[in-house]
Amino acid sequence: MFHKTKAYLVHVLTGLGIFLSFFSIISILSENLLFALIFLLIALFIDVVDGSLARQFEVKKHVPNLDGRMLDSIIDFINFVFIPCIILYEFDYLPEPFNIILPLLILGVSIYSFSSIKVYTKEHLYVGFPSIWNVLIIYLTILSLSDMENLYVLVFFLILKIIPIKVLHPMRYENHKIKNIIIVLFLIPTTFVLLLNSLNIQFLIELKSYFLFMWYLFNLYFIILTIIINIKFSTYKNFLK
């Protein structure tokens, strides 16, 4: 009974993401970008930890009548794709008419990406850039780029979605797994501090340069690791030929 309770609590944790979706949308309607992004960031944290908890507490075994992956996918599409597209339109991240065109392209590509059975490999790598548009929106906010620069960045990542590069899942990719998890768990609060300061909420402002340095360092680590993974896969593929 205790194991089943823990398994159900993991599903409850995952389900909290839909309430965060609701509050993020309410914040958008209230023209409060800060809270809209904060709710998405909290939802991202839940998404980062709930999968590991589900495996640890053997949720599939103890609650076989609920499909946790389906639950997670529904919430992820709303928080990772749909709400970020609304934010792109509502808060002038893009020049007209791309504030409508690009969100539509992102929605169209992402919905097929989410439904593809070949988007995820047995090594826990995404094929093509994953649909983490929530992360990109938060990053663009921190970087404070112009609308044209935002356009170039988003088009670049949209192209990466249809190119079969390999991108690691930091919580599941076996190589350096513990290190990857630790870095992600430090990256999220670091991002939170920088997000607050980018939207004129002075929080730990005296340490902003240190947070920014660590933020760049953490992201550079994952970029380099992704490049190494793709070089290894390319080398292995050529070897098989």
Q: How many domains does the chain have?
A: 1
Q: How far apart are CA 79 and CA 86, in angstroms?
A: 11
pLDDT digits (tens, 9 = 90+) for 72-99: 899 999 999 999 999 999 999 999 999 9
For residue 167, the cross-strand partners are 126
For residue 126, the cross-strand partners are 120, 167
241 pLDDT above the threshold of 50: no
Q: What is the pTM of this model?
A: 0.90
Q: Which residue has the tokens 């490999």?
A: 121
Mean pLDDT, the chain, integer? 88
Q: Which two tokens stand for residue 41?
A: 């960031």
Q: Which residue has the tokens 């991002």?
A: 191
Lowest mean pLDDT across 63-72, 77-86, 142-151: 63-72
pLDDT digits (tens, 9 = 90+) for 22-56: 999 999 999 999 999 999 999 999 988 887 788 88
Q: How far apart are CA 138 and CA 115, in angstroms?
A: 25
217 pLDDT above the threshold of 80: yes
Of 140, 109, 114, the C-alpha closest to 126 is 114
Q: How far apart are CA 129 and CA 158, in angstroms?
A: 8
Q: How far apart are CA 96 and CA 85, in angstroms?
A: 14
**Domain encompassing residue 108:** 2-240
Residues 6+ apart with CB under 8 A from 117: none
